[in-house]
Structure 1
Amino acid sequence: MPYSAIGARALDSLTRDPEKAEAYRRDPYMREALASLAPALGTDALHRHTFVVLKPDAVAGRRCEPILDILRSLGWHPVAATTVRFDPLLVRELWRYQFNAASEQRIALVDPLLSSGPALLVLLEDRDGARDLPASVRLTVAKGSADPSAARSGDLRTRIGRVNGLFNFMHTADEPADVARELQLFSYQTGWAWCAGPLFGTAPAGPDGDTAATTASTAERTVRTLLRDAEAEIPAHDLDVTASLGRLAALDGPWGACAREAADPAHLDTWLRELRRTPLPDADARWDVLTVLTSWIHCNEEGVLPIIATTRADAWRVPAPHRDRAPEEAMAV
């Protein structure tokens, strides 16, 4: 008996990684995604579109507008947007196939960080004329590694001033299969109406009959409104570890004591113990603590590989191998 209701070749147009395809055929979110996105699967919508999540640290560091400006300049234009809030389950399911490599320090910190306010989920259309890669793959290449040690000068994350391995400001999907799976995960909060128009080709035309222009104009207004609301909730912060330690040292309470008595990465365990028993402070001081901790931790376990690694762009630059399929496999999702 098969272990999957998804046909053996059903993901051929969405991923070039055979191991990912096999894992996703057994993934319940992928199965739901194929049903949810059925109107888009017969088109190039999942190749022309991707998304960026502007995380709470991007809001605090006021990096959202610069990120979107750079994306526009490189051909990715917002066509829909909404707000999402991370919780521990969403974090672990979104990164289900990578979180096995996360360090204990990162696991302890990721939930307080990502739950520190709203994130912006922005659907992007790739209007670059070349179109030699899916939008998601091209953006993955341009974005660069989350690891600062692997940064390149032209990486998007470098251009926006990434601070450390966790304050990297954005998340994107690696390739079309990930776009589908992750939008399904977000949909449990957001529904599908926010992005149905661009993805399913149901966006209304404006008075002049120009659907694309109307969609873009509406999306830009939505992004501005959501960003204004997010910035009203999350205070602007310099994300500077030295300045953060100085501000915390002036406070009463356990976090002030940490800053005065354990102001060195060698005392990281003292801070992590405090994190387990003491809520983060409010407002600016919250981001001071997060800045210190993200600057000191090691993000990944030494020598541990993720279950599924990022698919190399080169795999998309050659034609997909032709594989015969049985009629029932071609139809199965």
Structure 2
Amino acid sequence: MTSDSSRALLSQLTPSPDKVEAYLGDTYVLESVEHLTRLGIDPATFARRHSLLLLKPDAIVARAVAPTLEWLGANGFEVVGAYRVAVDRHLARALWYFAWNIASPERRRLADLLVDISDALVLVVRDTDGALPAPVRLTEAKGATDPRKRRRGELRYLLGRHNYLLNLVHSPDDPADVLRELAIYFDEPTRAGLLTRLGAGVDQAGEVARIAAELYERTPAGSFDRASALARIARDLGAEEPVSDEDCARLLYSAWDAGRDLDPWSVIVLGSYVLPMRSGTRSQTLRPVAANDWLEARP
């Protein structure tokens, strides 16, 4: 595609001019657009009708697959693909490339621990509603990253782990992000298989159950309770349990500085409550797209 045609396509898929400019040279976006076009699939149509829902390693620990499936069905989303995806620090940085610049060093460290906990489950979903592009409606309906902003009926509210870092699920904000994340999660053969099966109408419930069982067998369920995590860490260090957030943070910093080997899940849970999540750097993030942004920007 030429630069002009790419700009015209992306302008249909996001109301953010900054995102259009950034994605013109993004390898993942270009790869998906080229692949879909080569297979005779209109990238814009695909990205409006479909979205992706990542159940992160914390969702596996929380045993969140079944309630997520129930919520999707009740909210007009049909699961048309399910894939087990290996996660590592590079996948995390690819997904959040345009937001990770404002993450604190502590948040990145916790995220790097989290990706070693389990593989993830990626669901490909089709919206049966159609009033908004699928990724826009799913993002609005799943709830905010900030637990204080979540509302009853949203997926993250339903799943009940009211934490900023351990928010269990991720989805692309708009159709442009669908194209980008499609190529992050899936190589070309996997994408080709997915696209071939989309029209077959195969029920994915059995595949989701199979992948969930595999992930649950490998990854124990865990507590998201701060007090339990602190007790485990203090016991392993032979230390008194601190009370304040600041003293809990100092306990983690001291253990890291000393190279102590701590239970990763306990560090993730405690750290998610007491360590800073944002750096002091001025944000260059591509602002998430809200439903009203999309509606106001579209003719």
Unaligned runs of 5+ in 1: 204-211, 251-255, 322-333
Structure 1 residue 307: deviation in Å? Answer: 2.2
Q: Distance in 1 between matches of 2:297 and 2:241?
A: 59
2:255 matches 1:274: yes
Output one character per residue of 1:178-230: Cα deviation in whole Å (capped at 9) or x when no partner. Answer: 0110110112498314522355x4x3xxxxxxxx2xx1x2x111100000000
Unaligned runs of 5+ in 2: none
Q: Answer with 105-114 or 262-271: which moved more.
A: 262-271
Alignment of 1:253-332 (within 5 A): 256-257=236-237, 260=240, 262=242, 264-267=244-247, 268-275=249-256, 278=259, 285-302=263-280, 304-318=282-296, 320=298
Q: Distance in 1 between matches of 2:253 and 2:68?
A: 31
Q: Partner residue of 1:173? A: 172
Give the TM-score normalised by the residue count of structure 1.
Answer: 0.80
Task: Indicate the SS of the match to 1:44.
Answer: helix
**Which one has the bigger helix percentage?**
2
In structure 2, what residue type is equivalent to 1:232? E
* CA pair 138-172 structure 1, distance change in 2 beyond 3 A: same
Aligned with 1:245 (options 209, 230, 242):
230
Q: Partner residue of 1:234? A: 219
Structure 1 residue 135: deviation in Å? Answer: 0.7
2:51 matches 1:66: no
In structure 2, what residue type is equivalent to 1:34? V
Q: Partner residue of 2:195? A: 196
Structure 1 residue 266: deviation in Å? Answer: 1.2
Structure 1 residue 264: deviation in Å? Answer: 4.2
Instruction: List structure 1 segments (4+ residues) > 6 angstroms apart after TM superposition.
Output: none
Task: Indicate the SS of the match to 1:146.
Answer: coil
Task: Indicate the SS of the match to 1:13.
Answer: helix
Q: Distance in 2 between matches of 1:181 and 1:259?
A: 46
Q: Distance in 2 between matches of 1:286 and 1:146?
A: 22
Task: Indicate the SS of the match to 1:173.
Answer: coil
* CA pair 234-13 structure 1, distance change in 2 beyond 3 A: same
Q: Partner residue of 2:57? A: 56
In structure 1, what residue type is equivalent to 2:160? G
CA RMSD across the alignment: 2.5
- Sequence identity of aligned pairs in percent? 31
In structure 2, what residue type is equivalent to 1:317? L
* CA pair 132-114 structure 1, distance change in 2 beyond 3 A: same
Q: Distance in 2 between matches of 1:115 and 1:228?
A: 18
Q: How many residues are matched?
A: 295
* CA pair 60-259 structure 1, distance change in 2 beyond 3 A: farther
* CA pair 14-224 structure 1, distance change in 2 beyond 3 A: same
